[in-house]
C-alpha cells in the first residue's frame, strides 16, 4: 500500500523532544485524533435525551452506549494485533473510516435501531484509534519521550471536558442533535488526513506476528455483554445463569488475548495489564454516580455538580504531567501504588459528603484528589506495558491493556448500577446505596494497591531522548 517506504524503517537519530520537526506532525495528529474522539464521547451522552425525544424506542436507549462499548472491545483487539502484522497506518486509517461512517449513520438515523448500528461502527473505529496510537508511541518515540506523549494524550481530554457538553447541548437545542454527529465529520476528515500521513512513517514489525482471532475478540465482547445483562437481571436464577454463560464465553477468549498470568496478576507484564483493569474499575464505577450524589442527595444544580467531573479531569491531567517527571526516577510501582491510595482517600472523602453536615464543596475537592490518583497511575501503566513488550508485539501488549481498560469500566459501572437498582428495589435511601458503591470501589482500589507490588521495578530501559524511531 505504501510502495515508497520499506516495511521496516531503521531508527533514525533526531534532535529535540516530541515537538521536534521529525515528530511534530505525528504528535499533533495523535493528540488531535484523541481530542475528536473525546468530543464525540462527551457530546453524544449530552444530547441523547434529545435523540430519544425524536426517535423514541426508550428500550434501546441503553444499547446506544452498549453497542459502542462492544464495538470498542473488538476494535481495540483487532487493530492492536493488526499493527503487529502490517504498518500501523493501515488499521489506523480503517479506524478513522469506520468512526466517520458511524457518525454519518448516526446523524442520518431514521430510528433508534439504526442509531445503535451507527454507534457500533463508531465503537469499532474508536477502539482502533488509541490502540494504534499506543503502538505509534512505542515505535515512534524514544523511551524518554513516551511519558510526555502519554501526558499529552491525557491533556487531549481537557478542552472537550470543559466545553464539549455545553457546546453539544447548545447545538442540539438550536440546530438539532443530528448536527452533533454530522458536525464532527469534517473535523475528523481534516485531522485524520494529517494523522494518517504522520502515522505512515511508523514502521511495521521486523517479524510480522500472527494476528488476533476476530472470533476471540467477538467472544470477549459477547461474554461481557451477557455477563453485564446477568448482573442487571431482576430474577436471581436468570442473572446467575447469564453471568456463568458470559464467563464461559468470555474468559477463555480473554486468556488468549492477554499475556499468560493476567487473570492472577503474575509479576511483570501480566500484573501491568491486570492493574489497569482494576484501576479503571475503581475510578469509573464511582465516577458514573458522582453527579447523581451531588444533585439528588446534596441538592446541587447539575451545572455545579459537574464541577466535580471537571475537577477530576484537570487533576488527572496534572497527575499525568507529574508522572512524566518522576516515572523514570521512582519506577512505576510507587506512582501506581500512590495513585491507588489517592483514589481510596479521595473516594472516602467524597463519601463523607453524603452527610448534610459536610459541605458539598468537600465532595468536589475530594473527587479532584481521586482524579489526581488516576493521572499518577494510568500513564505509568501504559509506559510500562510498552517498555516491557516484546519488540514487534507492542500492538498485542497495548491492545490487552486497553481491553482491560474497557472491561474494568464496563464491569465497574455494571456492578455499581446493579447495586443502585437493588437498593432502590429494597427501599434503601439513595445515600445508602451510593455509600455501598463507594465502599466497593475503595475495596477494589485497595486490591489494586496490593497488586502494584507485582509491577516491574522499572518502566523499561530509558534511551536518550535524542534517539527517535520515526522512519524517514
CATH number at residue 430: 1.20.1250.20
With beta carbons less than 8 A apart as the criterion, state whether 103 and 186 touch: no
Output the pLDDT for position 461: 54
**Statement to judge: residues 132 and 278 lie in one domain:** no
**Statement to judge: residues 83 and 121 lie in one domain:** yes
**Statement to judge: residues 174 and 247 lie in one domain:** no
User: 317: left (phi > 0), else alpha (psi -120 to 50), else beta?
Assistant: alpha
Contacts of 105 (CB under 8 A, 6+ apart): 114, 115, 117, 118, 121
**Statement to judge: residues 67 and 197 lie in one domain:** yes
**Mean pLDDT on 176-198:** 91
Predicted confidence band of residue 122 (pLDDT cuts 50, 70, 90): very high
Output the pLDDT for position 62: 64
- Which of 179, 211, 243 is the endpoint of a domain? 211
Query: Does 469 map to a domain?
Result: no
**Statement to judge: residues 414 and 303 lie in one domain:** yes
Query: Does 31 map to a domain?
Result: yes
- Which of 182, 211, 240 is the endpoint of a domain? 211
**400 or 441, higher pLDDT:** 441
With beta carbons less than 8 A apart as the criterion, state whether 332 and 346 touch: no
Query: Does 472 map to a domain?
Result: no
Output the pLDDT for position 280: 93
Query: Does 470 map to a domain?
Result: no
- What percent of the chain has pLDDT above 90? 33
When mean pLDDT is compared over 31-35, 286-290, 427-431, the highest value belongs to: 31-35
Annotate 303-312 with b (16+ C-beta within 10 A) or e (fewer): ebbbbbbbbb
Is the Cα torsion angle 48, 53, 55, 57 positive or negative in sign?
positive
pLDDT over threshold 50, residue 8:
no
pLDDT over threshold 90, residue 264:
yes
Q: Rounded to 5 degrees, what are φ and ψ at 13?
A: -90, 120
Domain extent at residue 238: 216-257
Output the pLDDT for position 162: 78
CA–CA distance, 36 with 57 (Å, rounded to integer): 28
pLDDT tens for each residue of 31-80: 999 888 888 887 887 777 788 888 877 667 767 777 887 888 888 888 88
CA–CA distance, 143 with 112 (Å, rounded to integer): 45
Q: Which residues pair with 287 in a beta bridge?
A: none
Annotate 250-288 with b (16+ C-beta within 10 A) or e (fewer): beebbeebbbebbeebeeebbbbbbbbbbbbbbbbbbbb
**401 or 426, higher pLDDT:** 401
**How far apart, in Å, are the Cα atoms of 321 and each of 9, 127, 145, 334, 453?**
30, 24, 12, 16, 23
CA–CA distance, 233 with 400 (Å, rounded to integer): 29
**Statement to judge: residues 202 and 293 lie in one domain:** no
Output the pLDDT for position 4: 29
**Mean pLDDT on 338-346:** 97
Query: Does 471 map to a domain?
Result: no
The total of structural domains in the chain comes to 3
Output the pLDDT for position 302: 61
pLDDT over threshold 60, residue 472:
no
Here the cell at position 176 is 438539532
**Mean pLDDT on 358-375:** 93
pLDDT over threshold 70, residue 5:
no
**Statement to judge: residues 374 and 291 lie in one domain:** yes
**Statement to judge: residues 253 and 279 lie in one domain:** no
* Residue matched to cell numbers 508511541: 137
Which of 44-53, 278-287, 337-346, 367-376 is predicted with the least confidence, judged by mean pLDDT?
Answer: 44-53
pLDDT tens for each residue of 229-261: 888 777 888 889 999 999 999 999 999 889 999
**111 or 47, higher pLDDT:** 111
**Statement to judge: residues 108 and 169 lie in one domain:** yes
pLDDT over threshold 70, residue 314:
yes
**Mean pLDDT on 152-175:** 82
**Statement to judge: residues 190 and 246 lie in one domain:** no
CA–CA distance, 450 with 170 (Å, rounded to integer): 45
Output the pLDDT for position 343: 97
Query: Does 304 map to a domain?
Result: yes
Best CA proximity match to 147, nearest among 339, 318, 389, 380: 380
Average pLDDT, the chain: 84
Output the pLDDT for position 14: 41
**Statement to judge: residues 109 and 228 lie in one domain:** no
CA–CA distance, 304 with 294 (Å, rounded to integer): 9
**Mean pLDDT on 451-463:** 80
Containing H/E element for 303? helix 302-330
**How far apart, in Å, are the Cα atoms of 20 and each of 14, 16, 17, 58, 141?**
8, 5, 5, 50, 11
- Which of 180, 196, 211 is the endpoint of a domain? 211
**Statement to judge: residues 225 and 107 lie in one domain:** no
Query: Does 338 map to a domain?
Result: yes
Which of 5-14, 113-122, 167-176 is predicted with the least confidence, judged by mean pLDDT?
Answer: 5-14
Predicted confidence band of residue 182 (pLDDT cuts 50, 70, 90): very high
Contacts of 337 (CB under 8 A, 6+ apart): 449, 452, 453
**Mean pLDDT on 315-343:** 92
Query: Does 468 map to a domain?
Result: no
Amino acid at each position: 500500500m505504501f510502495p515508497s517506504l520499506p516495511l521496516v524503517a531503521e531508527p533514525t537519530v533526531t534532535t529535540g523532544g516530541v515537538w521536534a520537526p521529525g515528530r511534530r506532525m505525528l504528535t499533533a495528529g495523535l493528540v488531535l485524533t484523541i481530542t475528536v474522539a473525546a468530543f464525540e464521547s462527551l457530546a453524544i451522552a449530552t444530547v441523547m435525551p434529545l435523540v430519544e425525544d425524536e426517535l423514541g424506542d426508550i428500550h434501546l436507549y441503553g444499547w446506544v452506549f452498549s453497542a459502542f462499548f462492544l464495538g470498542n472491545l473488538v476494535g481495540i483487539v483487532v487493530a492492536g494485533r493488526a499493527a503487529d502484522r502490517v504498518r500501523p497506518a493501515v488499521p489506523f486509517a480503517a479506524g478513522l473510516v469506520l468512526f466517520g461512517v458511524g457518525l454519518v449513520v448516526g446523524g442520518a438515523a431514521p430510528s433508534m435501531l439504526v442509531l445503535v448500528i451507527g454507534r457500533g461502527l463508531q465503537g469499532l473505529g474508536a477502539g482502533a484509534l488509541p490502540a494504534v496510537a499506543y503502538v505509534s508511541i512505542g515505535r515512534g518515540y524514544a523511551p524518554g519521550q513516551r511519558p510526555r506523549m502519554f501526558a499529552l494524550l491525557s491533556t487531549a481530554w481537557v478542552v472537550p471536558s470543559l466545553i464539549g457538553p455545553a457546546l453539544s447541548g447548545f447545538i442540539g437545542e438550536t440546530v438539532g442533535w443530528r448536527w452533533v454527529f454530522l458536525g464532527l465529520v469534517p473535523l475528523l476528515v481534516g485531522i485524520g488526513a494529517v494523522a494518517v500521513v504522520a502515522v505512515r512513517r511508523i514502521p511495521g514489525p521486523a517479524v510480522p506476528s500472527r494476528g488476533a482471532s476476530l472470533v476471540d475478540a467477538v467472544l470477549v465482547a459477547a461474554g461481557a455483554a451477557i455477563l453485564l445483562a446477568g448482573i442487571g437481571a431482576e430474577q436471581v436464577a436468570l442473572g446467575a445463569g447469564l453471568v456463568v454463560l458470559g464467563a464461559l464465553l468470555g474468559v477463555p477468549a480473554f486468556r488468549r488475548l492477554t499475556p499468560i498470568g493476567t487473570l492472577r496478576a503474575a509479576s511483570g507484564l501480566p500484573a501491568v495489564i491486570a492493574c489497569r483493569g482494576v484501576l479503571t474499575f475503581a475510578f469509573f464505577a464511582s465516577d458514573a454516580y458522582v453527579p447523581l450524589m451531588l444533585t439528588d442527595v446534596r441538592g446541587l444544580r447539575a451545572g455545579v455538580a459537574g464541577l466535580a467531573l471537571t475537577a477530576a479531569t484537570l487533576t488527572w491531567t496534572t497527575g499525568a504531567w507529574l508522572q512524566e517527571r518522576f516515572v523514570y526516577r521512582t519506577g512505576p510501582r510507587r506512582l501506581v501504588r500512590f495513585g491507588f491510595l489517592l483514589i481510596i482517600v479521595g473516594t472516602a472523602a467524597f463519601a463523607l459528603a453524603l452527610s448534610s453536615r459536610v459541605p458539598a464543596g468537600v465532595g468536589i475537592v475530594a473527587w479532584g484528589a481521586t482524579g489526581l490518583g488516576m493521572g499518577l497511575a494510568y500513564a505509568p501503566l501504559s509506559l510500562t506495558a510498552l517498555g516491557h513488550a516484546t519488540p514487534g508485539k507492542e500492538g498485542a501488549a497495548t491492545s490487552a491493556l486497553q481491553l482491560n481498560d474497557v472491561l474494568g469500566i464496563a464491569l465497574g459501572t455494571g456492578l455499581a448500577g446493579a447495586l443502585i437498582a437493588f437498593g432502590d428495589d429494597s427501599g434503601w435511601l439513595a445515600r445508602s446505596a451510593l455509600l455501598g458503591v463507594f465502599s466497593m470501589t475503595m475495596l477494589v482500589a485497595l486490591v489494586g494497591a496490593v497488586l502494584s507490588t507485582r509491577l516491574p521495578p522499572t518502566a523499561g530501559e530509558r534511551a536518550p531522548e535524542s534517539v527517535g524511531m520515526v522512519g524517514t
